[in-house]
Structure 1
Amino acid sequence: MWQTRGRHTGPTAPDVLRKHLQALKDARSVQDFMELPDADTPEGESAFEARWLVDEEVTVRARLRLAEWSGPGQEWTLTAEAERPWDLRWPSPAAMFWPWEAETPWGQETVTGERFVAANPLPADEKELRRSLRAALRDTWTVHLVVHEAMTPDERGRRSLVPLLPPGLHHRVIEHRAAPHQLRTVNWALKEAGVEVPRGGGLVLPGAPAPAGYDAADFSVRSVFLDGTHPTELLDAVRRFAALTGPLPEGADAALTVLREEWQLLTLEEELARERELVAMYKGALEAMTESRDLYREAAEHAHEALAAYREAAAEAGEPRQAPARKGGSPFQQWGRTLERFKETTKGLRPPAPAPSTVSRESPEQDRGIGTSDDEALEATDR
């Protein structure tokens, strides 16, 4: 796996990518490429996929995403993956997407704004110098190399050391140059990281967090001759640092996942293989559903058999069957019928009512007749 990111400061980044990739495809350096439809990319972004061969048999798949940037231009993130462990002698994937020209607008690193494959002098202003180095210490996407010039170099000494590295590191390394009088300021800025640049030497910055196995003594070189000779010791330190395993930078894991799971630039064989995988997946799902249905049917049959056996056993044992529930109206209607039956029953328990009296209460003498002898009562009644 190979990853890096940078900035394109011009206004026509997609056009540059289309033109360069088409030229490489015509030259058969790239097998194929495609620009993803807008529907498959977030709003304000675009993406390109490309595929090529290395060592004539190893396929490399790469995806470059263009996103909006706070400043002019766009930020690009490039992720590539090969069919076998990455060899730094293979071409840089960035060079497969972007054309390399002098002062090309795409070749700027994102955090510090310095250029790839160039010797970048540190700012003359001390505040800017400290800010630049502290930003480099926080960067985990790029390897940052600081070289101190013991004396002002000639034209050969001002050339970048990055082109002397394997091609796979050309767009993953940023070279910073400190002038002879800047050494104290440089080491003051690096003090919080616990590292320092030797006078006339070089140092590979640890990043934040530093990868496992990083020791400043192993990645600093005491003497770097900027006279056109090959700085073997310093270049070896850069290669060893790039080989260290550390946490992926922020956003790198998501980019790798998209490359693996949403890859669209398929060959005919890959499309057939993907369709076969889909058919196998659907077949497995259908078999699982059929097996589940059969198990459910078998369980239902066992339940019916158990219920029938229980009923037969109950009948043989003479177990009285429960009377079915009486179908009536609502509970309120049943309660009303119960009250009616209770009312009819209580009617027979009441004492008989006395016969209505025919005595007239027209005069007081009649009232006084009550309680007298029977003859007087009858006489009074006749009257």
Structure 2
Amino acid sequence: MSNSATDHATIPQTLWAARGRHSGPAAEDVVRRTLRRHRESGDIDDFAEPPVADDSTEQVFEARWRAGGTVTVRARLTLVPHRTRPQEREWTLVAEAERPWDEAWPSPATLFWPEAGPADGADGAWDHHPTVAGLRLRQVNALPEDDKEMRRRLRDAARQAWCVNLVVHEAMTPDEHGRLPLARLLPAGLRHRVVEHRAAPQQLRAVNWALKALGVEVPRGGAVLLPPDPAPDGFDAREHSVRSVFLDGSEPAELVAALRHFAALPRPLPHGAGEALTDLRENWTLLTLQEELERERHRVAMFTEALEAMTKSRDLYREAAEEAHRALAAYRDTPAAAALPRRPELFGTRTPSPLQQLTRTFERLKFSTKGSRPVSSADGTSDGGATDTTDPA
């Protein structure tokens, strides 16, 4: 596990983040069509496709809108080819608002991707789990019949902290309404970050055996949230467990409360989320005129500060050079006999010779710009004055 500072940071309350995989062809065309449609309808203010390096396989899209009509949201979607299936695209979506995220706001996922259902062809194939095969974000995911496979799936899903994993046990075989995903009943801001695992009535013992390693248990006919890896501070399995979930199409109020409580915890940033958030903040290109003006003012201030520092450094070098020239001229004008060494004990005081003055000048030139103190000469005298000596005789 990484020990970088990014991994220990917590998710800002202003951030909405999700990951997934588009299994159909031409994912970038799907995103472009969706963004154009939302811009024409006024759902978003504008979008852009920033350029990337020539050797990069990434494709980046930016969009901005006003949640609730007043709160500016900036979002960035990154597409990269799947490791083993290059025709598919893995996507990372981060959106940051000017104030803490409200789960009632529209899901950023549906502003970049179409709201078509999973069965609606390639356009609706964007909701696959990014790492665990067979899982979808917008439909019921029945747990495997094999106990070991069930344990493996739940363990692998819980490790992926980008998603919130919900395990629901069916107390009895549900009707047509009960077989629909609970995600459709969740607030829009939670809808596309929840993976719903469904255990059949006869799987209660097996699913709790599988969940034992994660330290949680699902009640009969209830639900439980799986702790991510690493678990957030303050995570209590009992607070994130719901005793009864009615699969009759009614709003699961207790479950929604548990999900909101979980989303509000100071959870660690998932792997890769810190980098995605940094890209959003530092490489953002979809600026308003006011933002462009502020950025240029900031650049002018930086250049002015750098120019002042360079000018000050130049002046220091010039003063030191002039002093060196004066010392060198004095040395050249001194008779040769004056440069002969004299024993310090024969004189009460001693004036530094022009050679020593020249040497000290070059020492100051060397260290003045580094902030170091002047270096003493070899005979123990400091820069800037003579040393009194007493004749031992």
TM-score range, shorter chain: 0.7 to 0.9
- The whole-number CA distance in structure 2 between the counterparts of 1:169 and 1:273 is 34
| Alignment match of 2:61 (pick from 16, 37, 48) | 48
Task: Give the Å deviation of 1:154.
Answer: 1.2
Residues 1:184 and 2:205 are matched in the alignment: yes
The share of aligned pairs that are identical, in percent, is 59
Offset at 1:309? 8.5
Which range moves more in the overlay, 274-283 or 255-264?
A: 274-283
Aligned to 1:13: 27
Matched residue type, 1:230: E
Match of 1:163 among 184, 208, 214: 184
Quote how far apart the aligned CAs of 1:281 are.
1.3
1:303 shift after superposition:
5.4
Greater CA deviation, 143-152 or 299-308? 299-308
Of 79, 86, 89, the match for 2:101: 86
Q: Partners in 2 of 1:14 and 1:227 — Cα distance? A: 38
- For the residue of structure 2 that corresponds to 1:39, the secondary structure is coil
Question: CA shift at 1:307, angstroms?
Answer: 7.5
Q: Which whole-Å deviations, capped at 9, do the CAs of 1:95-135 have from their partners, x for residues lacking one?
A: 11001112120112213342223222212333332221111
Partner of 2:131: 111
2:88 paired with 1:76: no
Tell me: CA distance 1:283–1:125, structure 2 relative to 1, closer, same or farther (3 Å). same
Aligned match of 2:242: 221
Q: Following the alignment from structure 1 to structure 2, what is the Cα–Cα distance between the partners of residues 164 and 21? A: 25
The verdict on how the C-alpha distance between 1:320 and 1:209 changes in structure 2, with shifts beyond 3 A counting, is closer
State the Cα distance separating 1:38 from its structure 2 match: 4.3
Work out the CA distance in 2 between the residues paired with 1:162 and 1:321: 93
Asked if 1:95 is matched to 2:116, the reply is: no
Secondary structure at the residue paired with 1:218? coil
Larger radius of gyration: 1
Q: How does 1:258-277 map to 2 (within 5 A)?
A: 258-277=279-298
TM-score normalised by L of structure 2: 0.75
Letter in 2 for 1:197: V
Letter in 2 for 1:126: D
**Counterpart-to-counterpart distance in 1, 2:318 and 2:236:** 67
The match for 1:65 is: 78
Distance 2:255 2:292 in 1: 46
Q: Which has the higher contact order (CA 8 A, sep 6+)?
A: 2
Matching residue of 2:270: 249
Q: Structure 1: how far apart are the matches of 2:339 and 2:98?
A: 76
Q: Which amino acid aligns with 1:18?
A: R
Q: Which amino acid aligns with 1:272?
A: L
Structure 2 stretches of 5 or more lacking a match? 1-14, 119-123, 342-393
Instruction: Say if 1:163 and 1:296 are closer, same or farther in 2 by CA, change over 3 A.
Output: same
Paired residue for 1:148, among 158, 169, 176? 169
SS of 2:239's equivalent? helix
Distance 2:339 2:111 in 1: 87
Preserved contact between residue 163 and residue 194 of structure 2 (Cα < 8 Å): yes
Q: Pick the aligned partner of 1:27 from 30, 41, 44.
A: 41
Please name the residue that 1:131 is paired with.
Answer: 152
Question: Could you tell me which residue of structure 1 aligns to residue 253 of structure 2?
Answer: 232
Q: Determine if contact 2:62/2:77 at 8 Å carries over to the other structure.
A: yes
Counterpart for residue 18 of structure 2: 4
Q: What residue identity is the alignment partner of 1:77?
A: T
**Separation in structure 2 between the aligned mates of residue 148 and residue 19 of structure 1, nearest angstrom:** 39
- Return the letter of the residue paired with 1:44: T
**Aligned amino acid, residue 25 of structure 1:** R
Alignment partners' CA distance in 2, 1:291 and 1:106: 57
Distance of 1:230 and 1:57 partners within structure 2: 28
Equivalent-residue separation in structure 2 for 1:227 and 1:81 (angstroms): 35
Which deviates the most, 66-75 or 96-105?
Answer: 66-75
Number of residue-to-residue matches in the alignment: 319
Q: Deviations for 1:185-218, whole angstroms, at most 9, x for unmatched residues?
A: 1111111112111111110000111111111111
Return the offset for 1:82. Answer: 1.3
TM superposition shift of 1:19: 0.7
Q: Quick check: 210-219 or 66-75, which moved more?
A: 66-75
Note if contact 2:155-2:214 (Cα within 8 Å) is conserved in structure 1: no
* Counterpart position of 1:281: 302
Asked if 1:36 is matched to 2:50, the reply is yes
- How far apart in 1 are the matches of 2:293 and 2:172? 63
Where 2:278 maps in the other structure, the secondary structure is helix
Q: Aligned letter for 1:56?
A: G
